[in-house]
Structure 1
Amino acid sequence: MTAPHAPEPGASADPELGRALRSALDTCRRDITRFHAAPAPAREKASVHGGREVVTELDLTLQERLTAELSRTFPGVPVIAEEGLAAIPQLPDECLLVDPLDGTAPFLVGSSDYAIAVCLVRDGIPAEGVIDLPAHDLRISAAPGLLHVTGDVTQLPHHGSHTVLTSPSRTAAVQDRLSGTGWSVRPVTTASVKIAFVALGRAPAAVYLPRPGRGAAPWDYPAAALAVAAAGGSVHDTAGSDLARTRPARLDGWLALHRPPEADLSALLRSPAATHL
């Protein structure tokens, strides 16, 4: 299998959402730089999946900035943003999904595995998405058939042509399922970052294994799924639905593929007893 092909930066016109958020995202990057210089204490919040997770004033600042710009640019379109939600709401057919800081926990310990993710949903399905990777000075805008990348993709880590990215806590489980296939596993913490690496050709696959009591929220993945689809790949859930063409919802698991692989990696999403790669 050849190494994944990286898209040409800026190879297509920046979709409307990307153009609309350009200035706000630049300001968000400056907010992040200021936070690094003078970090504020984190606190715990209730997760929409149950349990607790961390949040900072930076999350809230970024969310307010993005929400204000989206409300101005897309008047009348509901903005559904992660912070402040106690549960995942019913999504209208047209809305804007915002994850102001996907990967707050790794961000706080100095990891580069964090992103800002925004998705415009029209007629119930993802229409345009933006993934900003401030630590890598990269920004991805995507729509069906359009992929616009700002920044130097070659500066990203290249994870190899037979590598599956997954969450650190699931690395052993994924490696066990890949035993004997010649594929290796590398940990990358954040959902949108893992999928973005696949879209940009820095890894051929990424997976989020189903896990009791955990899941992916509807703002975690659709923008990045659009980017993978625009690059010629796909992101599917456990039922085989294409997440770039499916109403965003809470997911138990997903698999992102840059190109059709040599092995049937879809088996990763099955129960261990039924897995035969």
Structure 2
Amino acid sequence: MTEPLPADAVSDLMPALRGVIREAAELALPFFRAGGHTTARVWSKAGGSPVTEADVTVDTFLKIRLSELVPDAAWLSEETQDDPARIGRDLVWIVDPIDGTRAFLSGHPDWSIAVALLSRGEPVLGVVNAPALQVSYEAVRGRGATRNGAAITVSARDALTGARVTGPKPMFDRLQRGVGRGGAPADFTLIERIPSLALRLVRVAEGAIDVGLVTANARDWDLAGADLILREAGGLVCDLAGRVPAYNQPDPVHGELVAVTSPLRDPALAAWAGGA
């Protein structure tokens, strides 16, 4: 096993990675029509979820370019057949070429390109780029998180009362029931669900949302890059028992999760348990 990548070495990757992500965005954008249906060809994967030629084009491009950037890194992506050789590898790229494909194909701007680099199973670099919004979030472990180059932090809210919450309605309703049983008013502000899961997490990181709820079956590629950005901004994502996600497992699938500021972690988990 090699030594973990030092922060300086990870930081040194960022200029080249920004260029690669910028090129990937330029490949995707011609297929996107704001408010209209994509010009890309669309078909269904096993299970019925949609994929477009933009997903495949960006995925192919990123696999080539990121593998050149870190030749020793293994690969895990939504649009590439999984290679079990990644298990146990020290370095792994985790990629979602277009997170929020349904938003992309329907003309909604909340889709993103999400990239993470794992070192010994932990994200050490994360980028979530929203090309239609011209916004890019970045983090290097131990170096903080940024939005378009400016530092970001989670909100200062320390109580669930009045919290801005986004996610699927059944999870929202359960959280609301749990707060109500504690005797406090459940006066959450419900924020419209964000199609890209990576964007849902980074909006907690930038302080626009206080609690982001995530249904079961999210994959590593939905989470890893945004997870690091959220951690570096002062928040966290965890399951409903308080455990943080483990990445690069044989089955890269996760259960229900919550993305929160650190002070809201325990109140949110207690409310979740009380709302069952």
Q: Give TM-score, length-normalised by structure 2.
A: 0.78
Checking the alignment, whether the CA contact within 8 Å between 2:110 and 2:195 is kept in structure 1 is yes
Residue in 2 that maps onto 1:182: 187
CA root-mean-square deviation: 3.2
Residue in 1 that maps onto 2:93: 96
What is the one-letter code of the residue matched to 2:163? H
Number of positions where the alignment pairs a residue of Structure 1 with one of Structure 2: 248
Q: 1-side partners of 2:22 and 2:53: how far apart?
A: 18
What is the one-letter code of the residue matched to 1:261? L
SS across alignment from 1:234: strand
Checking the alignment, whether the CA contact within 8 Å between 1:59 and 1:83 is kept in structure 2 is yes
Structure 1 residues 253 and 35, CA gap change in structure 2 (3 angstroms): same
**Displacement after TM superposition at 1:60 (Å):** 0.6
**Displacement after TM superposition at 1:265 (Å):** 0.8
For the pair 1:201 / 2:198, whether they are aligned, the reply is no
**Displacement after TM superposition at 1:69 (Å):** 1.0
Name the % identity: 26
Structure 1 residues 171 and 150, CA gap change in structure 2 (3 angstroms): closer
For the pair 1:42 / 2:42, whether they are aligned, the reply is yes
Structure 1 residues 251 and 17, CA gap change in structure 2 (3 angstroms): farther
Deviation sequence 1:96-129 (CA, Å, 0-9, x none): 1111001001111111221111111111221211
Matches within 5 A, 1:121-136: 121-136=118-133
What is the one-letter code of the residue matched to 1:82? E
Checking the alignment, whether the CA contact within 8 Å between 1:144 and 1:226 is kept in structure 2 is yes
Residue in 2 that maps onto 1:264: 267
Structure 1 residues 35 and 149, CA gap change in structure 2 (3 angstroms): same
Residue in 2 that maps onto 1:65: 61
Structure 1 residues 21 and 269, CA gap change in structure 2 (3 angstroms): farther
SS across alignment from 1:27: helix
What is the one-letter code of the residue matched to 2:233? A
Structure 1 residues 95 and 262, CA gap change in structure 2 (3 angstroms): closer
Deviation sequence 1:191-223 (CA, Å, 0-9, x none): 11100101111111211144xxxx111111011
Structure 1 residues 267 and 108, CA gap change in structure 2 (3 angstroms): farther
SS across alignment from 1:52: coil
Checking the alignment, whether the CA contact within 8 Å between 2:93 and 2:117 is kept in structure 1 is yes
Q: 2-side partners of 1:270 and 1:89: how far apart?
A: 38
**Displacement after TM superposition at 1:185 (Å):** 2.0
Q: 2-side partners of 1:117 and 1:268: how far apart?
A: 30
Residue in 2 that maps onto 1:31: 27
Residue in 2 that maps onto 1:5: none
Checking the alignment, whether the CA contact within 8 Å between 1:198 and 1:205 is kept in structure 2 is yes
> Unaligned stretches of 5+ in structure 1?
1-12
Matches within 5 A, 1:135-154: 135-151=132-148
> Unaligned stretches of 5+ in structure 2?
1-8
Structure 1 residues 57 and 225, CA gap change in structure 2 (3 angstroms): same
Checking the alignment, whether the CA contact within 8 Å between 2:75 and 2:93 is kept in structure 1 is yes
2:237 equivalent among 235, 250, 254 = 235
Q: Give TM-score, length-normalised by structure 1.
A: 0.77
Residue in 1 that maps onto 2:51: 55
2:117 equivalent among 111, 115, 120 = 120
Instruction: Judging by fraction of residues, say which structure has more helix.
Output: 2
Structure 1 residues 92 and 116, CA gap change in structure 2 (3 angstroms): farther
